[in-house]
Amino acid sequence: MRASSRFAAGLALAGAFLTGVDAAIQTVTRSGRYLYTADGNRFYIKGVAYQEQGAVVASTSNPFLEPSTFIDPLSDGTACTRDLPYLQQLGVNTIRAYSVNSSLNHDSCMQTFSNAGIYTIIDLSLPGNGSMDRNAPTWTTNLLDLYIETINVFSKYNNVLAYNVGNEVVIQTNGTAAATFIKAAARDVKAYLNSIKSSALVGYASIDGAATLLDPLANYLSCDPSGSNSGATAIDLFGLNNYEWCGNSTFEAAYAGVEGDFAGYNVAAYFSEYGCITSPPRLWTEVGALFSSQMSPVWSGGVAFSYFPATSAQGQFGMVTISSDGSTVTTSSDFTNLQTQYAAASPPNSPLQSGAGAASYPSCPQQNSSWLASTTLPPTPNYAACQCLENNLSCQFTPSTNNYTAIVGALLDYACTLIGQSGGSCAAISSNGATGQYGAVSECDPTIMLSYVMSDYYIATGANAQSCSFGGNGTVNSKAPSSASAANAAASSCLASASGTSVPTLPAGAPSPAGSSSSSGGGSSSSPNAASVVLADARTLMGMGVVVAVGIASGLWTIA
C-alpha cells in the first residue's frame, strides 16, 4: 500500500490539476459504431466504476451478491473533491455510477468532474425494488417515472455521456424474453431524451456469456423490429461486463472470441466492467490490448472495476480504501498498476468521423429455443391512463399498514385466486415478453393492478362491501361505477390511450428539464414536488411485478 494523503493535501492537488482545464467539456456523440467528441476526434471510454457498495446479503436468491441498498456517489461534493486527484492520477475520462438518488443535489460532484473533463455513465435503476427484475420483468409507470425523473435531474449537466437502462437483466437463455422490456425501456428513454434535446446516449450493460446468448442479445437491443432502418428502439451503447483477461493473459486467450463475435456490430460497444481478480494484484495488462489498433475497430474502451472496495462472487475488488472518517484515501497496487497502463494507452484516432458510416439497424434475431424475445414490445407506460383507471375503480387498495409493500404481492395472489375460482382471469395485469402479449393494465404500478383485480372480484360478487375488504385493505369507491358494464366502459375509456408508443412525460408537478432550482453543496431539496412523491412510491413498489408474474407462472390464475 502506498502512503495515504490527507484531505487538505488532496484539495491542493485538485486545484493544481484543474488549472487551465476548459470548463466547456465537449459533447460526445455516436456516428455509426464509434464515439466522437465535438471536434471530430475518436472518443474512447477510459473509465473506472465509481460507487461505494451498499449492503449485501448473501443468499441462494442472490448468487451475484448484488447490494440491496446504495450510496449515491454523486451527491457528496466533499467526497468527490477528495477523490478527484486520484481519478486524475488514474487518467480516467469517465466514471460509471450504478445508482443515484434523484431527490438529492448533485451539482458539486457533477461540476467538479465536468471541470476536470470527466464524463459520467449513469445507471437508471436502483437496487431491488427500483430495478427490472430478471426473473419476472415488467415495464410499468413507476419504473419509467423513476428513469425519467433521474434523467430530468441530470439533464442540466454537460458531462452525462450515457444512461444505462439495465445491468445484467438477461443472464441465461430461459430468461431472454426479458429483453423485450429492456428494449421498450430503451425506446422510451431515447424518445424522452430526444424530446428534451439531450445528446446523452442510451446504453445497456450485459453479463458476459456464451455466444449463443450474447450475440442475439446484443443484436436484438440494436435492431429495428419495423424493418425500416430506424433506431427508435435501439440502444446507442452496448456494454459488456467482461472478466476474461486474468493475470498476464493474451489477446488470443482472452479476447479473440468476443472480438470476432462483435466484429460486425452496428452500434458503439465497450467493456462496461473489466478487471479479473483471480490473481491479485491485478496487472491490468488487458488495457494495452483493449486500447490497441487490434481491438479499436470494435471497442470504444472500457470501465475498470472498481475504484472503491466491492465484494462479489468473484472476490474482493477495489483500488483504494477510505478512512473511517472519510478524509484519507489509500491506494493499492491495483491502483498503481492501472495508472501505469492507462498512461501508456494510446488508441488510434481512426476512423475519421466522416468515414464512420451512417447508422444502420438490421432486422431482429428470430425466436428459437434459446432466444425467446418477441419483437412486439410492451407499450409506453401511460401514467395519466393508469391514474384515470384508479380513480374509476370500484374497490381501491387502501392498506391498513404503512409497510404495504409487504402485502401487495400476497393480496394480488389471493385476489387472482378468487377470480380464477369464479371463472375469471387476471390476464389484464399480465405481460409476456415471449408471446408479445401485454394486458391492458400491465403497464400500471402494482397498487393499481391490485385495485383493478380487487374491483373485478368485488363486482363479480354483486358489489358486496365485504368482498372489497381484503382483510381491511380495501375501500369501496362510492364515486365509481358499480355495475360490470359501467365499470368496463369506464376502464376502457381510461385505457384507450394506453396502447402503442408515445413520448413519455413526467407526472404533474415535476419541474421541466434543467428547470428546477437547487443549491450547491449537496443535500435534499427543501420542498419536494409531486414527482418526488410519485417516485418515492416507485422506488418502493417496483418489485411488486415479480409477485404478479410468479403468480401467473405457478398457475394461481388463468391467463386468457
Between 275 and 135, name the one with better pLDDT. 275
Residue 60: per-residue pLDDT: 59
How many percent of the chain have pLDDT more than 90? 73
Q: Are 280 and 334 in contact (CB under 8 A)?
A: yes
Burial of residue 133 (CB within 10 Å: 0-12, 13-18, 19+) is buried
Kindly tell me if the per-residue pLDDT of 244 is higher than 50: yes
Q: What is the pLDDT of residues 374-391, one digit of tens each?
A: 999 999 999 999 999 999
Residue 77: per-residue pLDDT: 98
Residue 404: per-residue pLDDT: 81
Residue 303: per-residue pLDDT: 98
Does the annotation count 259 as an active-site position? no
Q: What is the DSSP annotation of 28-52?
A: EEEETTEEEETTS-B--EEEEE---
pLDDT confidence bin for 313, thresholds 50/70/90: low
Residue 419: per-residue pLDDT: 93
Cell of 69: 441498498
pLDDT confidence bin for 510, thresholds 50/70/90: low
Q: What is the pLDDT of residues 94-127, one digit of tens each?
A: 999 999 999 999 999 999 999 999 999 999 998 8
Annotated catalytic residue within 52, 168, 286, 443: 168
Q: Are 387 and 524 in contact (CB under 8 A)?
A: no
Q: What is the pLDDT of residues 326-343, one digit of tens each?
A: 999 999 999 999 999 999
Residue 498: per-residue pLDDT: 81
Residue 481: per-residue pLDDT: 85
Angle of the 179-195 helix axis to the 211-221 helix axis, nearest 10: 30
Annotated catalytic residue within 273, 286, 390, 443: 273
CB 378: neighbour CB atoms within 10 A?
26
Residue 136: per-residue pLDDT: 85
Kindly tell me if the per-residue pLDDT of 558 is higher than 50: no
Kindly tell me if the per-residue pLDDT of 87 is higher than 50: yes
pLDDT confidence bin for 262, thresholds 50/70/90: very high
pLDDT confidence bin for 22, thresholds 50/70/90: very low
Residue 505: per-residue pLDDT: 87
Residue 61: per-residue pLDDT: 53
Residue 69: per-residue pLDDT: 78
Stretch among 164-178, 451-465, 491-505 having the lowest mean pLDDT: 491-505
Show me where the domains of the chain are located. 43-355, 383-507+535-558
Q: Are 124 and 169 in contact (CB under 8 A)?
A: no
Mean pLDDT of the chain: 86
Residue 287: per-residue pLDDT: 98
Torsions phi, psi of 475, nearest 5?
-135, 135
Residue 251: per-residue pLDDT: 98
Write out the H or E segment, with its range, that includes residue 385: helix 383-391
Residue 422: per-residue pLDDT: 86
Kindly tell me if the per-residue pLDDT of 514 is higher than 80: no
Kindly tell me if the per-residue pLDDT of 6 is higher than 70: no
Cα(344)–Cα(187) distance, integer angstroms: 38
**What is the average pLDDT across 246-269?**
97
What's the Cα-to-Cα distance from 105 to each of 73, 96, 111, 518, rounded to whole Å? 11, 18, 12, 7
Cα(422)–Cα(424) distance, integer angstroms: 6
pLDDT confidence bin for 500, thresholds 50/70/90: confident
Q: Which CATH architecture has domain 383-507+535-558?
A: Up-down Bundle (1.20)
Instruction: Please check whether the two domains, 43-355 and 383-507+535-558, share a CATH topology.
Output: no
Kindly tell me if the per-residue pLDDT of 350 is higher than 50: yes
Rounded to the nearest 10 degrees, how much is the dihedral formed by the CA atoms of 483, 486, 488, 492? -160
Does the annotation count 168 as an active-site position? yes
Q: Are 75 and 109 in contact (CB under 8 A)?
A: yes
Sign of CA dihedral 388, 181, 531, 499: negative
Cα(411)–Cα(518) distance, integer angstroms: 40
Cα(502)–Cα(387) distance, integer angstroms: 17
Torsions phi, psi of 58, nearest 5?
-75, 130
**What is the average pLDDT across 484-490?**
89
Per the omega criterion (within 30 degrees of 0), is the bond before 348 cis?
Answer: no
pLDDT confidence bin for 401, thresholds 50/70/90: confident
- Altogether, the residues listed in the chain come to a count of 560
- Count how many Cα atoms sit within 13 Å of the Cα of residue 185 in the half-sphere of its side chain: 32
Closest CA to 456 of 403, 381, 397: 397
Residue 131: per-residue pLDDT: 74
E strand map for 323-401: 329-331, 395-397
Kindly tell me if the per-residue pLDDT of 81 is higher than 50: yes
Residue 58: per-residue pLDDT: 53
- At residue 537, what is the residue type? D
pLDDT confidence bin for 525, thresholds 50/70/90: very low
Residue 509: per-residue pLDDT: 58
Q: What is the pLDDT of residues 200-243, one digit of tens each?
A: 999 999 999 999 999 999 999 999 999 999 999 999 999 999 99
Closest CA to 38 of 499, 353, 330: 353
Q: What is the pLDDT of residues 450-474, one digit of tens each?
A: 999 999 999 999 999 999 999 999 9
Cell of 533: 412523491
Rounded to the nearest 10 degrees, how much is the dihedral formed by the CA atoms of 487, 490, 491, 497? 170
Closest CA to 370 of 214, 137, 171, 174: 174
Residue 4: per-residue pLDDT: 41
SS3 content of the chain, % helix, strand, coil (to 5): 35, 15, 50
Helices (H), 162-283: 179-195, 211-221, 251-254, 256-261
Closest CA to 162 of 189, 129, 130, 196: 189
pLDDT confidence bin for 520, thresholds 50/70/90: very low
Q: Taking the CA atoms of the chain, what radius of gyration do you get in angstroms?
A: 24
Q: What's the CATH number for 43-355?
A: 3.20.20.80
**What is the average pLDDT across 130-154?**
91
CB 256: neighbour CB atoms within 10 A?
13
- Count how many Cα atoms sit within 13 Å of the Cα of residue 414 in the half-sphere of its side chain: 13
Q: Are 400 and 472 in contact (CB under 8 A)?
A: yes
Cell of 288: 494495452
Cell of 525: 431539496
Q: Are 411 and 450 in contact (CB under 8 A)?
A: yes
